[in-house]
Amino acid sequence: MAEPLWTSDEIAAATGGKPAGGGFAATGVSIDTRSLEPGDLFVALGGVRDGHEFVGQALAAGAAGVLASQAIDAPAVMVPDTLAALEKLGAAARDRAPRARRGAVTGSVGKTSVTQAIAAGLQLAGRWHSSVKSYNNHIGVPLTLARMPRDTERAIFEIGMNHADEIRPLAKMVQPHAVVVTTVGPVHTENFADGEAGVAKAKAEVFEGLQPGGVAVLNADNPWFDFLQVAASDAGAEIRTFGTGEGCDARLIDFQPAGDHAAVQARFHGKGLDFPILQTGLHWGLNSMATLLMLEALDVDLGDSLAALGSFEPLAGRGAERTVRAKGGAFTLIDESYNANPISMASAIATLGGRKTAGRRIVALTDMLELGADGPRFHAELAKPLETAGVDLVFCAGPLMKSLFDALPSTRRGAYAQTAAEIAPLVVRAAEPGDLVMVKGSNGSKAGLIAQALVALDAGDGG
C-alpha cells in the first residue's frame, strides 16, 4: 500500500491542532466535496458557504478525516482557523521535501499555460508535482503545497494576484528556486492607482520569496524588463532572459504556424534550436522560450523539455481548437473563452489573421474586465488589429464591448448584445461551413457560453 500523504498525527504536528474522533491517514487534500477523492483530508474552509456544512457530504464521498474549527462527529484535527492551518500544512509539506526544486510562474498573461507546459516537462524528468487548473491564490497555493508528496523531486506553482501585496506572502510560502514573470501588461489596472507600474511592482514581489542564488527568468521584450531586472538583481537572483533580441539566453528567431502545430526556430544559449510544438498562437513563441529556461533551472534535460513542448496540447478555453460538424457542414472553433486582456486579445487576433481559411474569419468577443477608466479605450482600440487580421465579422457582447462595436466599420459588424447569452444564438446562426470562429473574453463576462453554444451544433453531440 502506498505511503499516506498525511497522518492525523502529522497534520496535528504541522498545524498545532488537536486530533479528535480517532486517528486517520489521508492520501490527498481537498477543499471541495465535488472533486474530493476517497481517502482525502477535507479542509473545512470558511467562505460564502462554511465548509463545515459539507462535512457530511465529504465523509459520504470517502474523506479519511477533516481539518475543522468546529466540533464535528468524525475523525478530525481541530484548529482555531482552517485557512491558517492549511498554510501551515503547506509549509510543512515544503520543508519535509528537501530534494524538491520548486519553480513559480507569475505574469499578466500566460501563467496557467506556461505552468502546465513546465509541468509536462517535470513529468518526464522524475517525481513531480504541480498546480492543477488556476490554483494560484491565497487558497490555491497553500493547497497545492499541502498536496506535495515528500519524495517530490521537482514542483511548479502558479502565483497570481488582483491587488498589491498578494504575491509576496505566496512566494515566501513556496520559496522557489526559480521564478518566471511571463510578461507585464494592463491587467487588473483598476486596482492600482499607478496603473501598469503598480502591476509591475506587484509582479516583482515574487522575487522576495526566491531561494538564495535562485534563477529569475524575465521577458526582455517587455517594456518593464529593466524594472524587473533591477528588482530581481536586488533580491540576489541569477537572471536569465527570453525574447526576440540579440543577447537573450533563449532567443526566438521565427514562429511559423502550420495546421495544428507550429515550427519554432530559436537560439538557446547561442546555439541553434529548431523544434515543433502543438500550439498555433503567436504568443507561444515566447512562452516556449520561457518554458525552456524554467525547465533548465529546475534541472530538466533539454531533450525532455523539447519532448514536453512537442506534445503539450492547448488547454481548454486557452486556444483549444475543435472541428464542429454542424448539419450544414463543418467549421473550426478556436476557444479562447477562459480569459482576456489587451495583450492576449491582440495576440489571439493576430494569430487568427495568420491562419489560412477557405471561409471567413469570425470573432465573438466579450468584455475584458478590471481595466478601470481606460476600459472603453482598450476595447475600442481592438478595431485596428481586427482590420489588420482581415477579420470578416465581429460579434460583441457586454457594455465595454459596445465601444469596440461602435468603432468598427459597418461591413465588419456582426451584431451587438448586452450579454454573452444574448449574442450566442446570433453567432451560432452566422457560422457557416469552412469558417474560422474564435471566441474570446474574460471569464467573468461569460464568453464560455458562446463557445458552448457553438459546440452544441456538433452533430456528434446530438446538436
Q: What is the 3 state secondary structure string of the chain?
A: CCCCCEEHHHHHHHHCCEEECCCCEECEEECCCCCCCCCEEEECCCCCCCHHHHHHHHHHCCCCEEEECCCCCCCEEECCCHHHHHHHHHHHHHHCCCCCEEEEEECCCCHHHHHHHHHHHHHHHCCEEECCCCCCCCCHHHHHHHCCCCCCCEEEEECCCCCCCCHHHHHHHHCCCEEEECCCCCCCHHHCCCCHHHHHHHHHHHHHHCCCCCEEEEECCCCCHHHHHHHHHHCCCEEEEEECCCCCCEEEEEEEEECCEEEEEEEECCEEEEEEECCCCCCHHHHHHHHHHHHHHCCCCHHHHHHHHHHCCCCCCCCEEEEEEECCEEEEEEEECCCCCHHHHHHHHHHHHHCCCCCCEEEEEECCCCCHHHHHHHHHCCHHHHHHCCCCEEEEECCCHHHHHHHCCHHHEEEEECCHHHHHHHHHHHCCCCCEEEEECCHHHCCHHHHHHHHCCCHHHCC
State residue 315's pLDDT score.
75
State residue 463's pLDDT score.
38
Same fold, 6-85 and 320-461: no
In angstroms, the CA 447 to CA 62 distance is: 35
What ranges do the domains of the chain cover? 6-85, 97-311, 320-461
Residues 6+ apart with CB under 8 A from 156: 102, 103, 104, 105, 115, 118, 119, 122, 128, 129, 130, 131, 294, 298
pTM listed for this prediction: 0.82
**What is the dotted CATH code of the domain comprising 97-311?**
3.40.1190.10
Q: Quick check: 253 and 265 in contact, CB under 8 A?
A: yes
| CATH fold for the domain made of 320-461 | Protein-Tyrosine Phosphatase; Chain A (3.90.190)
Question: Would you write out the chain's pLDDT as a tens digit for each of its 463 residues?
Answer: 468 999 999 999 999 999 999 999 999 999 999 999 999 999 999 887 899 999 999 999 999 999 999 999 999 999 999 999 999 999 999 999 999 999 999 998 889 999 999 999 999 999 999 988 778 899 999 999 999 999 999 999 999 987 889 999 999 999 999 999 999 987 666 776 677 888 999 999 999 999 999 999 999 999 999 999 999 999 999 999 999 999 999 999 999 988 778 999 999 999 999 999 998 888 899 999 999 999 999 999 999 999 999 999 877 777 888 899 988 889 999 998 888 888 889 889 998 998 888 899 999 999 998 888 889 999 999 999 999 999 999 999 999 999 999 999 999 999 999 999 999 999 999 999 999 999 999 888 999 999 999 999 986 543 3
Instruction: Take residue 259 and report the three cell numbers written for it.
Output: 495546421
Q: Which CATH class is domain 6-85?
A: alpha beta
State residue 158's pLDDT score.
96
State residue 187's pLDDT score.
66
